[in-house]
Chain A
Amino acid sequence: MLKRQAEDYKSQLTEKFWLPKVQKYAKLLRPRLRDKHLKILTLTSDDNYCETLRFIEHRLTSKDEIFLWTYDHHKRMRLEAERFQVLPTAKYEDTIINSSQVISSHFPFEILNLDFFAQDPTTEEGRVELEIESVEATVRLQKMKQTESLKGFVTIYTTLFDGNAVDVGKLANRLNSYHVDGWAGIDGSAYPGSVKTMKEKVNVIERLLADISKKYGYEVAGCNHVTPTEIISIVMAVRKLG
């Protein structure tokens, strides 16, 4: 994908979807504060972090509270020259599923902008399944590092829509392999075995994200999605139960 197009998709998503939704859900997380000071993790490329700047402009966060994730060493250096805090350079999916000690020390976050589209995705089979698994690992880490002050968090999941089918049954089995006491597991039979169209994928991903949140003791406070050309972006806000 050309860089120019990448910048365009992000600025459009930010203006029309991410910013208004994050503003809305920030009121749930920090109702009384004018400057919200939300701690943000965002997957990004080296020159494509416009959403963080807009969040700063709208007093949702400050530069010190933003952690960028990039998969490339040289991209990391470029971001560091602009005084961003950059987390280890590797594919997010690989790192989070292995729960590296270095990353876990930075958790929890209030906004998780898991923009896999910014990480130059390939179109190989099993990509979306791996991404959903990494979202599960992220929520697990959020739960493990849960603090008293953290009332909930917002997950923004963005991915490339391609022609590959998502094997939901296999994915449900993989998600169920992480055992949580009192959790019966995702009922694979309640989902279609495999999905391919945009509408089906959005529907399944939203249900899976809600199930993952419930698994770790969160209830869904709101969920929205947009599907511009070739992109699926879902914003889900969850809050702590009880």
Chain B
Amino acid sequence: MSQLAETVQKGRPISQGTIDIEVASNVVSHLSFSIYRNFARAIRELISNAYDARATEVHIGLYLKSDPQKVVIRDNGVGMNLEEMRKRLFRIGNATLPTEEIDPVSKRKRIGEFGVGFLSAFPYCDRLTVVSKKVNEDAIIDVSVDTQRFFSGVSFNVTEFSVPYVQYKSDLPTKQGETILTLEGIKPHIVKDLRQVRQRRSTTSIDRFEGFRKFRWSICQFVPIEYPPDRKDLADFFTYDGRNPLRLWLDGEELFRNVPKDAQILEKGEKSFGSIATRYVIMSPMEPVEPQEARGLQIRVRDVGIGLPTDFDVIKLKGRVLGKLNYICGEIHVTKGLIPVMIHRDSLSYTQSVAEMDSFFRNQFTALNAKLDNWAKGDRTIYTFIGDTPDSRRSMKDLRAANLLHLPRNRVRAIKTEMASVQRVTRVIEDRGFTVEVEMSKARRYSTLEVYPEKKLVRILEAPSKIQTRISLMGQVYQTSLGEWKHTKSIESACRIERHKVIFNVGHPVFKLTRLDEETIKQLVLGITLLLEEHPRKKMLLERFYLLLRETL
């Protein structure tokens, strides 16, 4: 259409000009409040900014008793000059396209993409001061923002909003850069949360932690810091070549990622889902992971935790209760592909790749739950077999060292009074990759296990069965088994009757009477115990009878 035709169609203009686009101050308020609903997550954003600025060290100091209360965050990154501050920090929503490119100096992938991370601190303080010195420049810029102005409810043109700045000559060497953020006048509810003290210390949930500990846990969970020094295996697996580590100190204490103590790697690998590639480690401390918020797998994109660890709704979607799901924790790192992260960094957009990933890990959870259940059953058989004998502690230690026992004894509820057969124990141990040699040892009183890890061999030293498996008394047949528990001199502690089953306490002195055979002792003990149960008032008489008998024999 020609220009003439267009003018004719729209009519002749009367006047021309520009209309200012005004952004209400509460847009900033909505953005910051709705995105970062938690102080720890707000701090995570500021640390992420330092990470992107090639910082290798970040120090955070909390001053909750000073007046005004403040938080000081300092990093040794490249810093900013005035122009960069204008363009990057004070241009809200200055989004950059997410990229897979690795920074040539820090060898890190850029975290920031939305350009709103700086807003994160706004709702939590009255004044935010930024002091920054760019590397290879000598000036230090000091900017102070009255953050309260954004929450006063008054609409104003953000384009007209200005913050004062002062430039000084820096005392740092030219080559060094730094950025110091001071959040002054921390909101009273945040101070109250951070200073919250609990009378009873609990580790089960972060909501039961003391305020400062909860904050520290959250920081360790989300920010791209290092793994604990004793988890070099995780660091080696996840750290891509040459990435400069970020070290973080909170109130002078160096922080590391949360990894449950003694967590063993159950599975690790690499897997691609559509356009994204992941690296994952699934671990278990062989007991319920604490706090409960750490259960499941922590998804990390560009090394930053996305929301809390997730179980991918496996119970809801599989329709099965997975008893050992509480034992599982770990991490999934998205290593390739531009996975869409929601602006609050608490979840991922639900794309085909994400759906495939979720489904894969749901299946892994089901399989690992079955594996842990199976281990628990096998462990129970072994624990039951070795019982509570004097040798059992050493045997357990050897078995655990050889990876033949996985779960702690208190987690498998072994039935102390039940004897596990040699055949069952042999089957469990053989399933775990060891060969078994059974040896009958007449000199032994208890059956026990000897482990030879270098030969992948377990020797079962089986004690001869001294007591019949059944006993008949006054026409009643009882099943018998052996056990050992704390006893007194009283005959009462020599055996325990459970319906038609009798468990003899082989450690009781009555079994040391050498002038009677074990069958007779067993019948005597059972007889006295039955009489005691039937005539409790005659306890004194029966105990006297037992003592006389013992002295005679």
Given contact pairs A82-B59, A83-B251, A74 touches B173 in the complex (Cβ within 8 A) = no
B254 to chain A, nearest CB (A): 11
Measured between beta carbons, the chain A residues less than 8 angstroms from B249 are 82
Those of B303-347 within 8 Å (CB) of chain A: none
A81 interface residue (CB < 8 Å to B): yes
Query: Does A81 lie within 8 Å of B61, measured CB to CB?
Result: yes
Measured between beta carbons, the chain A residues less than 8 angstroms from B62 are 83
Measured between beta carbons, the chain B residues less than 8 angstroms from A33 are none
A103 interface residue (CB < 8 Å to B): no
B63 interface residue (CB < 8 Å to A): yes
A94 interface residue (CB < 8 Å to B): no
B206 to chain A, nearest CB (A): 22
Given contact pairs A80-B63, A83-B62, A72 touches B171 in the complex (Cβ within 8 A) = yes
Query: Does B252 lie within 8 Å of A78, measured CB to CB?
Result: no
Query: Does B131 lie within 8 Å of A77, measured CB to CB?
Result: yes
Of the residues B59, B70, B140, contact of A74 by C-beta under 8 Å: B140
Query: Does A82 lie within 8 Å of B252, measured CB to CB?
Result: yes
A3 interface residue (CB < 8 Å to B): yes
B182 interface residue (CB < 8 Å to A): yes
Of the residues A3, A46, A75, A80, contact of B61 by C-beta under 8 Å: A80
**Chain B interface residues toward A at CB < 8 A:** 59-63, 70, 72-74, 131, 140, 168, 170-171, 173, 178, 180, 182, 249, 251-252
Measured between beta carbons, the chain A residues less than 8 angstroms from B171 are 46, 72, 74-75
B296 to chain A, nearest CB (A): 33
Across the two chains, which residue of chain B brings its CB closest to A120? B171
Given contact pairs A81-B60, A82-B59, A83-B62, A74 touches B170 in the complex (Cβ within 8 A) = yes
Query: Does A81 lie within 8 Å of B168, measured CB to CB?
Result: no
Q: Tell me the interface secondary structure of chain B in the complex.
A: strand
Report how far A136 CA is from B6 CA in the complex, Å.
88
Query: Does A81 lie within 8 Å of B131, measured CB to CB?
Result: no
Measured between beta carbons, the chain B residues less than 8 angstroms from A74 are 131, 140, 168, 170-171, 180
Query: Does B131 lie within 8 Å of A63, measured CB to CB?
Result: no
Report how far A80 CA is from B182 CA in the complex, Å.
10
Those of A41-85 within 8 Å (CB) of chain B: 46, 63, 72, 74-75, 77-78, 80-84
Across the two chains, which residue of chain B brings its CB closest to A82? B59
New A-B pairs, 16, CB < 8 Å, besides A63-B252, A83-B252: A74-B140, A74-B168, A74-B170, A80-B61, A80-B63, A81-B60, A81-B61, A81-B72, A81-B73, A82-B59, A82-B252, A83-B61, A83-B62, A83-B63, A83-B251, A84-B61
Measured between beta carbons, the chain B residues less than 8 angstroms from A63 are 252
Report how far A3 CA is from B171 CA in the complex, Å.
10
Measured between beta carbons, the chain A residues less than 8 angstroms from B140 are 74
Measured between beta carbons, the chain A residues less than 8 angstroms from B180 are 74, 77-78, 81
List of 10 A-B pairs having minimum Cβ-Cβ separation, nearest first? A81-B74, A81-B59, A83-B61, A83-B251, A80-B72, A81-B72, A77-B180, A83-B252, A81-B61, A80-B61
Chain A to chain B contacts (Cβ below 8 Å), 9 pairs: A63-B252, A74-B140, A74-B171, A77-B180, A80-B182, A81-B72, A81-B180, A82-B74, A83-B252
Measured between beta carbons, the chain A residues less than 8 angstroms from B178 are 78
Report how far A46 CA is from B172 CA in the complex, Å.
10
Measured between beta carbons, the chain A residues less than 8 angstroms from B170 are 74
Query: Does B168 lie within 8 Å of A78, measured CB to CB?
Result: no
Which of A46, A80, A81, A84 has the most chain B CB within a 10 Å cutoff? A81
Measured between beta carbons, the chain A residues less than 8 angstroms from B131 are 74, 77
Query: Does B252 lie within 8 Å of A3, measured CB to CB?
Result: no
Measured between beta carbons, the chain B residues less than 8 angstroms from A46 are 171
Across the two chains, which residue of chain A brings its CB closest to B173? A3
B65 to chain A, nearest CB (A): 10
Across the two chains, which residue of chain B brings its CB closest to A56? B252
Measured between beta carbons, the chain A residues less than 8 angstroms from B182 are 77, 80
B549 to chain A, nearest CB (A): 61
Across the two chains, which residue of chain B brings its CB closest to A45? B171
Measured between beta carbons, the chain B residues less than 8 angstroms from A83 are 59, 61-63, 251-252
Report how far A234 CA is from B319 CA in the complex, Å.
77
Which of A3, A46, A63, A80 has the most chain B CB within a 10 Å cutoff? A80
Query: Does A77 lie within 8 Å of B74, measured CB to CB?
Result: yes
Measured between beta carbons, the chain A residues less than 8 angstroms from B70 are 80
- Interface 1/0s, chain A 153-193, versus B by CB < 8 A? 00000000000000000000000000000000000000000
Report how far A77 CA is from B73 CA in the complex, Å.
9
